Structure formats: structure tokens, C-alpha cells
Structure 1
Amino acid sequence: MKINPKKHLGQHFLLDQSIAQRTAELVPQTEDELVLEVGPGTGILTKWLTKRFQENFLAVEVDRQSISYLIDNDILRKEKIIDQDFLTLDLKELSNGKAIHIVGNFPYHISSQIVFHSLDFRDQVSSLTGMFQKEVAQRLAANPGSKTFGIITILSRLWYDCDYHFTIGPEVFNPPPNVLSGVIQMNRNNRKSISFPEPDFARLVKTAFNQRRKTLRNSLKSSYDIGLLPQEFAGQRPEQLSENDFLKLAKSMLV
């Protein structure tokens, strides 16, 4: 049985065993914690993950053809596969009190949504490891002052530390994507909460970055009381502020 990559699912199947092994080995070693692969496809990464994690492994797959392939080729047992869209999966219910480590060759057209869904369940998701479009991977791992530093960087860095591990060319995928790919890992940090509503904080960050070439004094003045803006940030552009700087900014602005 052959699986044809489906464009509407954003499938680009990994072909290179060494990259699959290298990615699987990045996932933190766990005891009695759950490793969840998103979109196993043909199972090339799955084989390395099941070898490491055995009974502590599950996969979530929305493609029925892939599910049949994984079962028919003895890559995964049926009870190890969740037939569902990851973006609708209740990770708190799935975790049953255990930490979850998410891993995958993520469909690039929903990779940001996968990150934000994981952020929604940050009390359950201990780490996220996988392949993204290189541009998205660089944004997630960017440092303040970088051109790739942006909204998703700030909102993810509140809860996770992120490391960029390596770049992958298009030739190791079927079909080859039109972009380079990057493998990153996000690990949960120690922050438990912030002192203001998260939607309000996200709105402040998005407002600042909507006009990222402007200073904060100019980008925020139409939506916020600019008199509350700390002088230390007034002349800076949003990409110059770290997530902790944005928390300090929010403490002044969100009153």
C-alpha cells in the first residue's frame, strides 16, 4: 500500500532516516510521561520514537489512509493511534495528569496553530520538538533585535524556552517543499502565570508589532493611554523588547 501525500493536509513525508533519528533523539527522555506524535504519515519518525518510548507513545493522525498504512505495516497498533485533528484534541484529558512531549514533522500551513494549541495546554505540554518551515522556526527561536523576532516569539517565550537545532533541505521530503525546514525544541519554563488577562497582553503585543517599524510611542498611541508608557521603552521598536520587557510594559499599560 502506497500513501499519496495530500496537498490539502500539507503533507510532505520525510524520507531521510538519519534526520528522523536525530529528531527523535532530541525528545527528552521520560519516565511515565507521554510522547505524542502529530501527523505520523508514513511512520519514518514513528519507528524511532516507538523504539525509544515504547508504551509511553501515542500518535494523532487525521489522514485515514496513513492510519491504515501504519497499522497494516505493523508500525503502530490501532490503540496507539488517535483518529482526530490535533487542533481539536483536549490535551488535559489526554494527559491524565502526566506531562506530554509533542513531536512531529508538522504540516507547515498549520504549524503556528499547533504551537498556539500547545500553549493553551502549557500545564500539560512539557516540550514540543519538530520540523517547521525554517522561517517559522527562526521566529520561534529568535532573540530580541532580530528581524524574525515577533508576535509568536513573545507569546511562546512567556511559557517556553526555544532552541533552533538544525536546518533541512527540501530534497529529503516527498514532495519537496518550496522552502527550507528547521528543527526546533521548545521546553516549558518555570513561569506559572502572569498578573493580567492573557488576551489583553496578546492584544498589546499584536498592536505593537502591527507597525513594527515604528517606535512604541507611535505604534501604541491610537489604542492605549500613551501617558502610561514607560520612558525607557518609548523610543524603542517592538522587536527590541524581550518577553520580560513586554511584561513590564504591560504592567504599566494594562491598568
Structure 2
Amino acid sequence: MNFKAPPKKSLGQHFLTDRGMIEMIVLAVNPQPGDLLVEIGPGQGAITLPLLRKHGQLTAIEFDRDLVVPLSQAAHGVGQLTVIHKDVLEVDFTRMAGEEKLRLVGNLPYNLSSPILFHALDHAAAVRDMHFMLQKEVVDRMAAGPGSKVYGRLSVMLQAYCSVTPLFDVPPAAFRPPPKVDSAVVRLVPRTPETIGVDDPKRFADVVRAAFGQRRKTLRNALMGVATSEQIEAAGLRPDARAEQVEVAGFVRLANLPSAERVEP
């Protein structure tokens, strides 16, 4: 394997090296014949090559051009690896899936994890599941419930469209170089359209963003210009409640009210 370039701090690179953790990730993904596996940020192939050995075929999206050739060389004789040199935020997963559904895998760069998650969410209808390694603090936020100190916009947006299951923690020593934070692996399974219940995704996103924009404010004040007190009550919510007290279904009900988008500030 010809990976000579050191990890690039500018790209937030921390390469997974712990074989036990790699095995756990591959077992969690559990690729089956016919699966369309797509890995985001393969790095030096720590997860790529074991998945290739197990599945035989994989598409990897890598932004660092210095890793493209070494990755392809490392995969020679292991399986069919297609490396796409591109920013993952510019990749159209829906087009890539075609008539099938993708299975996304990745050790996401911590400085880009939220944008990548929201990008994947935009293409959720073309995705069967996702297994991502992220900063543990982010995974905690993703899976948090109402009343938790870390329950917020990320929690609501992801849980509205996916089931979120934290799988296991990964210590800093499992990486080179070791990050300064703990990591965790999470499984996201997109919900079927009929179980999501969001009438207008943009309106839903606007309501959630406004509600959590200023956490200390009540819904009545935070949603000024987005929803009236009467509408908040019509959704079964208390205008004097704060966003972190509202369950996902409550935000869905509020966003689905017909006139919510036409309220004037």
C-alpha cells in the first residue's frame, strides 16, 4: 500500500487504524449481494478494503487528490473500486442510485459532518441506510430526545426523516493522529414517505430553524413571523414552551398547518 502523504490537518483527516473497530463497522454495515455501497471519505482505505473483501464492489468519494491513486492501487486484486475525486456536497446521490438505493458509509470529517448529514438527508429517498462515524458529541445530538440539553435542530431534522441508532463509541487511540475527542458510529435508516408526514420539507426546515434559532426564547417569540400563537396552539403546543421541549411530531404538526408560511412578521 503506497500511502506516503501524512494526514492533512486542513481536511480534518484522522485515519482509522484499530482493526477491532474496523471489524465492528464492517459487521454493522453487513453488506449483502446486490448492495450499492458508497463510501464517503475513504482516506487510506481502512474501511474500504475490508468492505471490498467482503462485498467485491464499492464506490468511494474522496476529496483529497493525493489519496485517489494510492486507494486505487491498494484495491487492485481485492475488488472493484471506483474512486470519485469530488467534494461529496456536490455529489448527486439520487442520480447515482438510479432505480436502486444506496448504502452510505463513512468516517466523516468532523468539521463538515453537519453539512454532509443534511446533504444526505436531501437525497434520503435514494438511500437505504447510512453508517457514519462522527464526533461522539454530534451523535449524541443526533439521537437526543426532547428535554435533553443537546436536543436541537440536528436532532429534529434527522429524526423526522430517519431512525437514528447510536451503535458504539470509538476512542481517540483508534486513529492516526488521535483526535482530541471521542467518536461514535451511528446508523441512520430513512423513513418511508408515508411515515414521515411532512407536507412541505422547506416549510418544516424553516419552522425548525426558527424555533431553535434562539434557544432561550419561547415558541411564541422564536416563531414570530413564522407562526402565530393560535397556530402553535392548534398544533397542540404551548406558545410559552421552548423548542427543546417539543417532540419531533409537534414540529411536523405545526409546519403542516396550511397558513403557517403566510404569517406576516
Give the TM-score normalised by the residue count of structure 1: 0.91
- For the 8 Å contact 1:104–1:131, the answer to whether it is kept is yes
Q: C-alpha displacement at 1:179, in angstroms? A: 1.2
Identity percentage of aligned residues: 33
Taking the aligned partners of 1:113 and 1:221, their CA distance within structure 2 comes to 26
AA aligned to 1:202 is A
AA aligned to 1:197 is D
Q: C-alpha displacement at 1:50, in angstroms? A: 1.1
**Runs of 4 or more consecutive aligned structure 1 residues displaced over 4 Å after TM superposition:** 75-79, 192-195
Q: CA RMSD in A?
A: 2.0
| Correspondence list, 1:1-255, <5 A | 1=2, 2-55=4-57, 57-74=58-75, 80-192=82-194, 194=197, 196-221=199-224, 223-230=226-233, 232-252=237-257, 254=260
Aligned residues: 254
Taking the aligned partners of 1:51 and 1:120, their CA distance within structure 2 comes to 30
- Unmatched segments (≥5 aa) in structure 2: none
* Greater displacement, 10-19 / 20-29: 20-29
Taking the aligned partners of 1:52 and 1:34, their CA distance within structure 2 comes to 13
Taking the aligned partners of 1:153 and 1:172, their CA distance within structure 2 comes to 27
- Unmatched segments (≥5 aa) in structure 1: none
For residue 41 of structure 1, give the secondary structure of its aligned residue in structure 2: coil
- For the 8 Å contact 1:71–1:77, the answer to whether it is kept is no
* Greater displacement, 1-10 / 212-221: 212-221
* Greater displacement, 68-77 / 37-46: 68-77
Q: C-alpha displacement at 1:89, in angstroms? A: 0.8
Q: C-alpha displacement at 1:162, in angstroms? A: 0.3
Q: For residues 202-229 of structure 1, what are the alpha-carbon distances to aligned partners after superposition, in whole Å with 9 as ceiling and x for unaligned? A: 1111111112233212322355322322
- For the 8 Å contact 1:196–1:254, the answer to whether it is kept is no
Q: For residues 14-37 of structure 1, what are the alpha-carbon distances to aligned partners after superposition, in whole Å with 9 as ceiling and x for unaligned? A: 110111111121115434231111
For residue 237 of structure 2, give the secondary structure of its aligned residue in structure 1: helix
Taking the aligned partners of 1:80 and 1:131, their CA distance within structure 2 comes to 21
Taking the aligned partners of 2:191 and 2:200, their CA distance within structure 1 comes to 19
- For the 8 Å contact 2:104–2:127, the answer to whether it is kept is yes
Taking the aligned partners of 1:140 and 1:122, their CA distance within structure 2 comes to 16
